[in-house]
Structure 1
Amino acid sequence: MTLTNLDELLGLKDRHVLITGAGGGIGRALIAAFTAAGAVVSGADQDRQSLEQVPLAHRLVFDLTNRRQVQEAVIGFITDHGTPDVLINNAGFTRGETLDQVDGDVWEREVAINLNGAFHITAPIVDAMCKRNSGNIVFISSVNALSHFGNPAYSAAKAGLISYVKALAVERGRYGIRANAICPGSVRTPAWNHRLQKRPELLGQVLPHYPLGRMVTPEEVAQATLFLASSAASGITGTALAVDAGLTAGNLRFINDVLAGDN
């Protein structure tokens, strides 16, 4: 396939893409992937300094937990730069709690960032997309939305994103809107570095759960997101795609620990 044909297949050349959480590990991989596909990429994050280090057409800074700040920033962005063709809701946060560690404050903060914040960004953009009769939204959810792997508040919020995806797909499809979700497993971003410094043995405990024997990379998450945002996925909406090195396909650890010894 030639580069020209690939551009036609993806349909992202000169399209305006807005990525939240743009300063993080997955965010930077998303920027690189969409820029390579010829898109005009803008980014949003809570930290302006992290955005200055990546190539972006426009930069938005806001706190996802501040509803008014988010809506003012998004509406101002649309007024100044037009409605993006693609919105990638990538921003998220968790501290890795078990249920015993979740109190009201933890629950409210994680839901505010991972679910409510995504809604406040998306709603005005979808309204503008509907007026134009075209648009595409991809949410970065999590395997935690599909099964329980800890992080109860985060998991509930990420599961809520999938329900929101389905609502958008069903009720806004008539306006040419597509909405989908990516559900990554553990992603080897710099966020793991401090955990591995404290517990070098942790990686050896994590990897046996993954059929591919490794975590997924930010680039693999970005490539799957690029596909769902592209014209190559023009018939796909309301879907949650696991990008998880096989984690949700089945319980490899159970097979190895319980069944393999019987053979």
Structure 2
Amino acid sequence: MTSETLHRVLGLRGKQVLITGAGGGIGQALIETFNAAGAVVSGADQSESLLVGLPLANGLVFDINDKAQTSSAINKFLRDHGTPDVLINNAGFSRGEILDQVDGNVWENEIAINLNGVFHVTAPIVEAMAAKGGGSVVFISSVNALNHYGNPAYSAAKAGMIAYMKALAVEKGRYGIRSNAVCPGSVRTPAWDHRLEKQPELLAKVLPHYPLGRLVTPGEVAQAAFFLSSASASGITGATLTVDGGLTAGNLHFINDVLAGDK
């Protein structure tokens, strides 16, 4: 298949794509992936410094935790640049915690960033997509939305994100809008660096839980989001795609430690 044929099949050349959380590890991989397909890529993050040097057609700066600021930035983008063909909701925040460490402030902050903020970004864009005649929305959720791996407030927000994704798929499909989610497991981004500096043995504890024996890369998450955004996924909506090295397929650690250990 030639490059030209591939671009035609994927249908993203010249399409306008907006990516939130653009300055992070997954965000940068998303930018690279969509740029390679010939899309016109805009990116949003919470500070100008996170966008410096990124190959973006347009940059948006707003705090997703601030409803008024978010709405103002999104509406200005729609006025100035038109309706995106693709929205990738990638912005988010998590911390390592168990239920006993979650108080009201932690809960409210995690829900505000990872769920409420996503709604405030998405709702006006979906309205504009419906008026335009279609579009694709992809949410970067998490395996934490599907099973419990700690981080209960973050997990609740990411599960709510999937419920919102399905609501959009069901109620906005008549307007040509597709809505899907990618659920990564642990992703080897620079965010791991400071954790590994403090706990060099951490990966040795984590990797036995993954059937592939490794963490997934930002590029692998980006490719999944890219597929769901493209014409190759034109009949897919309301779907959740795990990119988790097999984590949610079963409990490898249990098999190795309990069942195989009995042999």
TM-score, normalising length from structure 1? 0.99
The residue aligned with 1:140 is 140
The residue aligned with 2:96 is 96
* TM superposition shift of 1:261: 1.8
1:5-154 matches, cutoff 5 A:
5-154=5-154
* TM superposition shift of 1:262: 2.1
1:252 aligns with 2:222: no
SS at the partner of 1:106? helix
> Take 1:53 and 1:195, find their aligned partners in 2: how far apart are those partners?
26
* TM superposition shift of 1:53: 2.0
- Kindly provide the amino acid, as one letter, of the partner of residue 204 in structure 1: A
> Take 1:9 and 1:167, find their aligned partners in 2: how far apart are those partners?
28
Cα deviations across residues 54-111 of structure 1 (Å, max 9, x unaligned)? 1100000000111010001000000000000000000000111110110000000000
* TM superposition shift of 1:224: 0.5
> Which blocks of at least 5 consecutive residues in structure 1 are unaligned?
none
1:199 aligns with 2:199: yes
> Take 1:119 and 1:220, find their aligned partners in 2: how far apart are those partners?
25
The residue aligned with 1:166 is 166
> Take 1:207 and 1:166, find their aligned partners in 2: how far apart are those partners?
31
> Take 1:57 and 1:99, find their aligned partners in 2: how far apart are those partners?
42
Instruction: Answer with 204-213 or 45-54: which moved more.
Output: 45-54
- Kindly provide the amino acid, as one letter, of the partner of residue 41 in structure 1: V
Q: CA RMSD in A?
A: 0.5
SS at the partner of 1:76? helix
SS at the partner of 1:213? coil
- Kindly provide the amino acid, as one letter, of the partner of residue 34 in structure 1: F
SS at the partner of 1:187? coil
The residue aligned with 2:211 is 211
* TM superposition shift of 1:244: 0.1
> Take 1:235 and 1:249, find their aligned partners in 2: how far apart are those partners?
25
1:229 aligns with 2:251: no
1:2 aligns with 2:11: no
- Kindly provide the amino acid, as one letter, of the partner of residue 99 in structure 1: L
TM-score, normalising length from structure 2? 0.99
> Take 1:154 and 1:53, find their aligned partners in 2: how far apart are those partners?
30
Cα deviations across residues 180-209 of structure 1 (Å, max 9, x unaligned)? 000000000000000000000000000000
Runs of 4+ displaced beyond 3 Å:
none
Cα deviations across residues 9-66 of structure 1 (Å, max 9, x unaligned)? 1100000000000000000000000000110000000011110121100000000111
> Which blocks of at least 5 consecutive residues in structure 2 are unaligned?
none
- Kindly provide the amino acid, as one letter, of the partner of residue 167 in structure 1: A
The residue aligned with 2:178 is 178
Cα deviations across residues 145-189 of structure 1 (Å, max 9, x unaligned)? 000000000000000010001000000000000000000000000
> Take 2:182 and 2:71, find their aligned partners in 1: how far apart are those partners?
24
1:261 aligns with 2:252: no
Cα deviations across residues 193-234 of structure 1 (Å, max 9, x unaligned)? 000000000000000000000000000000011000000000
